[in-house]
Structure formats: C-alpha cells, structure tokens
A and B are shown apart, each in its own frame.
Chain A
Amino acid sequence: MGAGVTEPAPSTAVRTRAPGAEATPPRPRAHGPRARRDALTARAGIAMYILPALALVGILLLVPFGYTVYQSLTEYDGISPAEFVGFDNYVTLLGAERFHRSLINTVIWTVGTLLLPVLLGLLIAVLTNASGWPVWVRYAFVLPYAISGTATGVIWGFMLRSDGAVNQVLGAFGLDSLQQEWLLSWPMNTIVMILAETWRAVGISIILFLVGLQTVPRETVEAGMLDGASGFRLFRRIVFPQLRAVTVVVVGISIANSLRVFDVIWLLTQGGPGWLSETLAVTMYRQTFVLSEYGLGSAVAVVLAVIVVSVSWIYLRQQMPKRG
C-alpha cells in the first residue's frame, strides 16, 4: 500500500497549531508563483474537507433561513404577493401579550430541560457506570428515545389527561386531593410536559455521558482514590472535569432543543388551552401554518433563531474546548 505517495504533500502550514496561531496559518515565506500555488493547493485541500458539510447546510438550511428573514419583513398570507412592511411584524410581536407568554414558557422549558435531562442523565450515567447493574436498568432510561413521537404523544396523553393514568393511580392510592387537570392549567401543563420530554430525552444524555465516562482514564481515578477522595468528592474533583467535552455537547444540545421544543407540546396540548402552553416554536408554527400569517410567523422564527444562536454562542464561547 503506497501510503502517502498520492497524497498532496503537506504544505508549509503543517506545524501551525501553536497557541494563538489557530486562526491564521503562517504565510509561505517565499514569494513567487511556486509558493502561491502551494498556498492555493493547501487552501483548496481544506476547502474539500469543509465543502460537503457546508454545502448541505448552506444550500438546504441557511438559504431557506435567509428567505425567512426576508419574509419576516413582509406581510404575506402564502398566496397573494408579499408586501414589504419593514419591521412592522416585530413591532406587533413586542406588543403582543401572547408573545410574552410564549417567551416565558420558552424560558421555563430551557431551565427545566437544562436541569432535568442533563443532571438526571449525568447522575444515571455515573451511577449505572459504577457497578455491575443489570442491563435492564439502563435500558429503561434509554428506550423511550427510540420510540416514535406519535406513540410518545398517545402515551403521555393517556398519562396526563383528566381521565388518564396518573389520576387513576392517585385515586387508587386515595390521593384524590392530588388529582389535577394536568394539561389544562398553567404553569402545571408546561411542567408536566417538561417531565414528559425528560422521559423521552434523558437517554441521549445518558449515552453521551457514558461515552464520555469511558474516556476517563482509570489511572486518574485510582490516583484520586489513593489521595483519599471518594464518592461525590472523587466525582467532582477527578471525574467531572474530564467530562468537560461531553458536558459541553450535552448542554449545547439541550439549549438548542429546549429553545426549539415543539413536538411534545403540539401533540399534547397544541399550545393550549388557548395559548397557555405555547412556546416560541409553537407560536411560530401556529402563526404561519394555522393562521397563514407567514410574515408574523417568520418574525417569531427570526427572534427564536437569534435567541438560540446567541445563547449557544455565549455558552459555547466560554466552554467549548478549543484544542486538546
């Protein structure tokens, strides 16, 4: 196997990963056609690696998003020609009480899903990783993620409706006073839907944390134990810091998913009763596809996108591992 023969020779920019140099590869020292060609080849090589991902995302996701941004500046019902209205849609949104409710719910969702699936996922991953637990225990937590959204919707409807399983159980144990119309009052409906989403999504954090735990070298743990650390202290001092890369992934994903949460709400309450349990994603969907106010819906989409990107940016800029 003629390794290395047909590959492009590493350019002059091979050893560039000194601290601080990551954004600018050194320029080729020599000027002239040869060096320039080398630099071009190097850049073309890099482009080849980025291009597939960038093309897919750019053409199929970013371009439509750009279109949405434009649409948010128009009044458009999906049929008649769009009419440019500037920032009218945004002004309308800021003044709408329902939009505020939607924002509040989105915040509750974000806090809730950061606390529950992430922390619970970490806890369960660590606990089941530690000792010889029967496999079904971990299966119990991971299974729901693989179950389809339709089934999740039907099942949680079974659980939470006034005539549903939760109230049946409470009744059977004589706890009638605790029975509630779970999906009908705010903020209870948002809280129980966060629990339903936790049920579904915790598996993904567990698996990611488990993958992360595998990368924690045994020796560091043993060294920590020799130093007399154990239990929670051992975890906090030794294990958790080494989970940073994976924690960033889990938290990053949770931020994005919780801010965009849609399916579980649409399946269980459609954002209702009335508008009580709407989040930004649900508001956007309803404005656009139920009310056919494409302009206003797009404005909600843009606001939501700005929030998700900036929150992710703030978090990831601080936390994301740069280089090993």
Chain B
Amino acid sequence: MARYLRNGFLITFAILWLIPTYLLVVNAMTPSSSYDGSPDWFPGGFGFFDNLSKAWESADLGLGIYNSLLYATLSAGIAVFAAAFASFAVIVMPTRRRGLWFWLIYSGTLLPLQIFLAPLFKAFVDVNLYDTQLGMVLIYAALCVPFAFFVVRNYLTTVPDEITEAAQLDGAGWSRLFWRIHLPLVKSSLLAAFVFQFTWVWNDLLFGITLSTSPNIRPVMAALAELNGGYSSLGPPIVLAAALLVSLPTVVLFLTFQRFFASSLKPVG
C-alpha cells in the first residue's frame, strides 16, 4: 500500500514537472511563421533548426557560448578553490575570529545582487575592467565564492578531527593536510559547488548586460537577450529554440554529475 502511494506520488510529480519542459520543447519546434500568439500543445511542424538559424543570425550566439564557457569554467573553478582554502582555514586551521571570517565571506551571498550593479559599473569603468573578459571572470568568481564556501565549509565539518590529528602526528604540514587529506575527502562537495556555480554563471543575465557590451566579451545570455523583448520581430518560438540550445551545456553537465552524485559518492570518513 505504502509502496503504491509512494510510486503514485513520484510519478504524478515527475509528470507535472515534465509538462513545462515539454511545452518548451514543442514550442521551440513550432515554425515561427505559424505561431499564433498562444502556446501549442503539439508540434505544428518542425521548425526547430530554422528557428535556430534565425536566432544564430540575429544574435552572436557562437561568441557568446565561447565567452560563457570561459567565464563559467574559470570563475567557478577559481571560486571553488578560493572557497576550499578559506573553509580549510576556518575549520581545520587554528584561526582566530572564525565567526567573523565566515560571516564576512558568506554575507556576499546574502546581499541582494541588484545593488552591486550601479557601483560595480562605475568602478569597472574607472579601473578599465568594464567590457573585458578579466572583469567578467573576476566578478563572477567573487559572486560564486560565498555559496561555494558555505557548501564546502559545512562538508569539511564532517571530516573527523582524528584524521587531521593523525596526519599531523605524522608530521604533515598545512599544505599537505589540505591537498592530500581534506581536499580529496570533500571532493564531492567541491564538485557540487562547481556544478551549481557553473550553472549560475552560465545563466546570469544581470551582470552580463551591465558590465559588458561588445560581442566578443558578452556572455551568451546577454546575446540571447537581444532576441527577446517586444521590439524584436522574432517571436517566442525562436527565443525558445535559442534558449533550448544554450541550455544544453548546463543540462549535460547536470545530468553527468547527477549520475556521479547518485552512484559513486563514498561516505566521508
């Protein structure tokens, strides 16, 4: 009985969850000329590649994808390592004022993002970071650090003290402890943080459109935004087709790591 209930619950919710995704795919395939202003439930033709090529023509999606790959990989990578270092310091090392350091770093994820836009724009212009790849990598890395720090820090607390102590008795220094003992133990949390932050950077629009403007700097979501909006003659099917395409990398990443999380994770300790 309980089993049926459980299965019924899961299947119902899974189907509910798939409906919007299904609509997304179907409407991305609707030829843009036959879109009549309300969503289609069944494909009215196959216009996906047509839509895609129109989108590709109007917005420089290729460059955008390249830029976003660069920003997402570098920023999420830098952030995860910076976060791992800092977590190690506040959890394993005999640091003073751990609470202060924790809240200073973590508060970065608590502040409403939109408030950073105006001051950052001005500052970026002043120090010549505006509309540069370096500027984008830096700001995305900074935005990714607090969340990664929070995740990694909490997983580090699950590493038993004895492990640290035993290694230290063997004469291991901090650096060795960090690289050889703790980092491998919390590898899964590093990966989880990386995947989430990669996805976040990939999907960011706000900072992309504020801090960059040239096609060779702009991330893909900013390029995609050119298609959207009421002044564009490209209807929803084209926007959806393009959105579907640019979501592929994160979808693949998620599904790959999803399997990893589900199967190969070993309990810590």
Chain A: residues with CB nearer than 8 A to chain B?
3-4, 7-10, 13-17, 22-25, 42, 45-46, 48-50, 52-54, 56-65, 67-68, 78, 120, 124, 127-129, 133, 135-151, 154-156, 158-159, 163-165, 168, 199, 203-204, 207-208, 210-211, 214-217, 231, 245-246, 248-249, 252-253, 256, 260, 262, 280-281, 284-285, 288-289, 294, 298, 301, 304-305, 308-309, 312-313, 320-324
Contact = CB atoms under 8 A, between A and B. Distances in A.
A61 B243 contact: no
B239 A154 contact: yes
Contact of B114 (A15, A133, A285): A285
B207 to A, nearest CB: 11
B150 to A, nearest CB: 6
A211 B104 CA distance: 27
B26 to A, nearest CB: 10
A56 to B, nearest CB: 4
Interface string B24-60: 1001000000000111010000000000000000000
B70 interface: no
Interface of chain B: mostly helix, strand, loop or mixed: helix
Contacts of A149: 203, 205, 221
Interface of B: 2, 6, 9-11, 13-15, 17-21, 23-24, 27, 37-39, 41, 78-79, 81-83, 85-86, 88-91, 93-99, 101, 103-120, 123, 138-139, 141-143, 145-147, 149-151, 154-155, 157-161, 164-165, 168, 171-176, 178, 180, 188-189, 192, 195-196, 199, 202-203, 205, 221, 224-225, 228, 236, 239-240, 243-244, 246-247, 250-251, 253-255, 258-259, 261-262, 265-268
B258 A142 contact: yes
B85 A49 contact: yes
B176 A155 contact: no
A147 B119 contact: no
Contacts of A248: 154
Given A147-B247, A164-B38, A156 B254 contact: no
Given A49-B178, A50-B86, 15 more contacts: A4-B176, A10-B173, A15-B165, A25-B95, A49-B88, A61-B111, A138-B258, A148-B243, A149-B205, A199-B17, A204-B196, A245-B157, A245-B158, A284-B112, A309-B107
A216 B10 CA distance: 23
B145 A56 contact: yes
A305 B158 contact: no
Contacts of B176: 3-4, 7
Residue of A14, A155, A168 contacting most chain B CB atoms (<10 Å): A155
A199 B16 CA distance: 9
Nearest to B189: A211
Contacts of A25: 94-96
A146 B247 contact: yes
A4 B110 contact: no
26 contacts: A3-B180, A9-B173, A25-B94, A56-B79, A57-B108, A63-B119, A68-B115, A124-B10, A124-B13, A136-B14, A137-B10, A137-B11, A138-B262, A139-B255, A144-B17, A148-B250, A154-B236, A155-B240, A158-B27, A207-B258, A210-B261, A217-B267, A256-B110, A262-B113, A320-B154, A324-B161
B120 A64 contact: yes
Contacts, number: 317
Given A4-B173, A9-B173, A49-B93, A147 B157 contact: no
B151 A4 contact: no
B251 A64 contact: no
A304 B112 CA distance: 7
Contacts of B27: 155, 158
B115 A148 contact: no
Residue of A48, A140, A159, A308 contacting most chain B CB atoms (<10 Å): A140
B41 to A, nearest CB: 7
A4 B171 contact: yes
Contacts of A4: 171-173, 176
Contact of A145 (B88, B123, B199): B199
